[in-house]
Structure 1
């Protein structure tokens, strides 16, 4: 199934790249959330591919919601994660595809089509970036770490306070604009931690497998292991994730 997910993500990525940095219409889903033709076309492609190969499986997709929700198998799809970046011409966005069984993610693919990077994992089979095995970093001191985050659509002074609190105790705090890539970058040790206070299943399902198979920790803000419908997330190694809980509660 991982090969299917990789090939489907690549096809969706081609759709995104076909429209990237070209004039296109955008629609507003909310004040700070937009929709482009790439979101719509890429999601249709992914859903079509899943229906063709796995007609009895369910799908949870960002733009069109649930399909066949009674199935134990659920594909969780974000066709363009980082749409605001994408629409602005910023090359930091991804295709995210995961498969869960009874709400437990089994495999995940996060594909960055601009840089042609496939980050992927299957449960009990490790995490990889274009075939190279991934492992989270072993840093234990926050002051040596780059911590990534995103604002999400549920914004408040609390988010600003959390970021403000992290700035003096870390090397840097970065707002990236694509949750699935930010989370996956923890597995690749490009950032040492990632936090999000309003995450969606399609943002984190694929990356959750990638992080855990790379030896990382993924928690919610209560300190419990992250589950598919949790709305908060902390990703890092075991030591740092416990420290970060103090700054997000």
Structure 2
């Protein structure tokens, strides 16, 4: 089944790569939240393939919503994570596919078609990128850490928008990046390229695959309250484990400062 997930991510990524230089048809879901014809084409390919091969599986896809009744297996599908990057010609985006089994993360594949990097994981089987085993970094302190983050689409109207946390941590960590694809941000943590990622306003299809990759690469994931994270939780902290407690403390400190 993992081979099927991987093959499907590769096929959908090829669709995105082939369409990258074309003019886009764009529909606005919000001020900074858009969907393109490439999102729809990728998702149509993915959903059709799943329905043909596993007709009894449930699917939750970003653009099409839920397909099928409750089932032992559920797919979480992001056909194009990093849509704004894609729309503007920035080659930093991916296809993200996760499979839950009885509500638990089971399989994952994230494919970056422009760098031809395929990240894959199976629960209990480790995480790999193009066949190479992944391991989170050994960075021991927040002051030495490179972090990534993102901001919710409603940040223009919602004061709880991660800006205070970002500004606080910018002076605590070595540096912060905001690449624009939560799935690839989590892949970077799993690969040891960054040391932690935090974000809020997340949807299950954004991060489920990346979460399994981080866990299988030896990392730690919680919500912001240091509670067990689950796919429906909109607040995530994913790290190499060594800086996790320190990062959680600083996130809490940023919120207290704002209240004060």
Is the shorter-chain TM-score for this pair beyond 0.5, marking a shared fold?
yes
Give the Å deviation of 1:21. Answer: 2.7
Q: Report the counterpart of residue 53 of structure 1 in structure 2.
A: 53
4+ runs deviating over 3 angstroms: none
Q: Do structure 1's residue 117 and structure 2's residue 120 form an aligned pair?
A: no
Q: Distance in 2 between matches of 1:202 and 1:242?
A: 26
Structure 1: state its 5+ residue gaps. none
Q: Report the counterpart of residue 218 of structure 2 in structure 1.
A: 215
Q: Do structure 1's residue 25 and structure 2's residue 25 form an aligned pair?
A: yes
Q: Distance in 1 between matches of 2:63 and 2:209?
A: 17
Q: Report the counterpart of residue 199 of structure 1 in structure 2.
A: 202
Structure 1, residues 77-113: CA drift from partner, whole Å, max 9, x if none? 0000000001010011000001001211101101000
Q: Report how many residues are paired.
A: 249
Q: Do structure 1's residue 166 and structure 2's residue 148 form an aligned pair?
A: no
Q: Report the counterpart of residue 228 of structure 1 in structure 2.
A: 231
Q: Do structure 1's residue 71 and structure 2's residue 74 form an aligned pair?
A: no
Q: Report the counterpart of residue 85 of structure 1 in structure 2.
A: 85
Q: Distance in 1 between matches of 2:6 and 2:64?
A: 21
Q: Distance in 2 between matches of 1:12 and 1:28?
A: 22
RMSD: 1.0
2:244 to 241, 245, 249: 241
Q: Distance in 1 between matches of 2:209 and 2:104?
A: 11
Give the Å deviation of 1:154. Answer: 3.2
Structure 1, residues 20-76: CA drift from partner, whole Å, max 9, x if none? 132112110111100101100100000001001100000000001101131121011
Q: Distance in 2 between matches of 1:92 and 1:238?
A: 26
Q: Report the counterpart of residue 131 of structure 1 in structure 2.
A: 131
- Residues 247 and 154 from structure 1, CA distance in 2 versus in 1: closer, same or farther, beyond 3 angstroms? farther
Structure 1, residues 118-174: CA drift from partner, whole Å, max 9, x if none? 011001110001000000011111111110001121324441110110011111111
What's the TM-score once normalised by structure 1's chain length? 0.97
Q: Distance in 1 between matches of 2:242 and 2:129?
A: 24
Q: Distance in 1 between matches of 2:52 and 2:166?
A: 44
Answer with 188-197 or 156-165: which moved more: 156-165
What's the TM-score once normalised by structure 2's chain length? 0.93
Q: Distance in 1 between matches of 2:41 and 2:105?
A: 25
Give the Å deviation of 1:18. Answer: 1.4
Q: Distance in 2 between matches of 1:225 and 1:114?
A: 34
Q: Distance in 1 between matches of 2:101 and 2:48?
A: 20
Q: Distance in 2 between matches of 1:154 and 1:136?
A: 31
Q: Distance in 2 between matches of 1:190 and 1:26?
A: 32
Structure 2: state its 5+ residue gaps. 253-260
CA contact (8 A) 1:21 1:87 kept: no
